[in-house]
Amino acid sequence: MSRPKSSLLECIPNFSEGQNPKIIKEIVKSIEAIHGLEILHVDIGYSVNRSVVTFLGEPAAVIEGAFMGIKTAASLIDMSKQKGTHPRIGATDVCPLVPYRNLSKEEAIHWSNRLGKRVGEELQIPVYLYEWSAKENHRKLLADIRKGGYENMSIKIKSKGWQPDYGPINFSPQTGATVIGGRFFLIAFNIQLSTQRLDIAKKIAGALREKRGRSSEQNTGLKGVRAIGWYIPEYKEVQVSSNVTDFRTTSLFELFEACRKLAKADNVEISGSELIGMIPMEAIRNAGIEIIQAGKTRELNNPVKAAIEYLGLNNIKPFLPEERIISLKSIL
Whether residue 308 has pLDDT greater than 80: yes
Whether residue 181 has pLDDT greater than 60: yes
Residue 36 neighbours by CB distance under 10 Å: 14
**Residue 152 contacts residue 171 (beta carbons within 8 Å):** no
**Residue 133 contacts residue 49 (beta carbons within 8 Å):** no
Cβ neighbors of 297 (< 8 A, separation 6 or more) are 291, 306, 309, 310
State residue 329's pLDDT score: 57
State residue 331's pLDDT score: 44
Please, which pLDDT band fits residue 191 given cuts at 50, 70 and 90?
Answer: very high
SS3 11: strand
Q: What mean pLDDT, rounded, does the chain reach?
A: 94
At residue 212, φ and ψ (nearest 5 deg) are: -105, 130
Please, which pLDDT band fits residue 205 given cuts at 50, 70 and 90?
Answer: very high
Whether residue 332 has pLDDT greater than 80: no
- The mean pLDDT of 109-132, rounded to a whole number, is 98
- The mean pLDDT of 258-285, rounded to a whole number, is 96
State residue 2's pLDDT score: 46
Please, which pLDDT band fits residue 328 given cuts at 50, 70 and 90?
Answer: low
* pTM over cut 0.85: yes
Would residue 138 show up in a list of annotated catalytic residues for this protein?
no
Catalytic residue among 35, 41, 86, 110: 86
What is the distance between the alpha carbons of residues 62 and 8, in angstroms, rounded to a whole number?
9
**Residue 179 contacts residue 128 (beta carbons within 8 Å):** yes
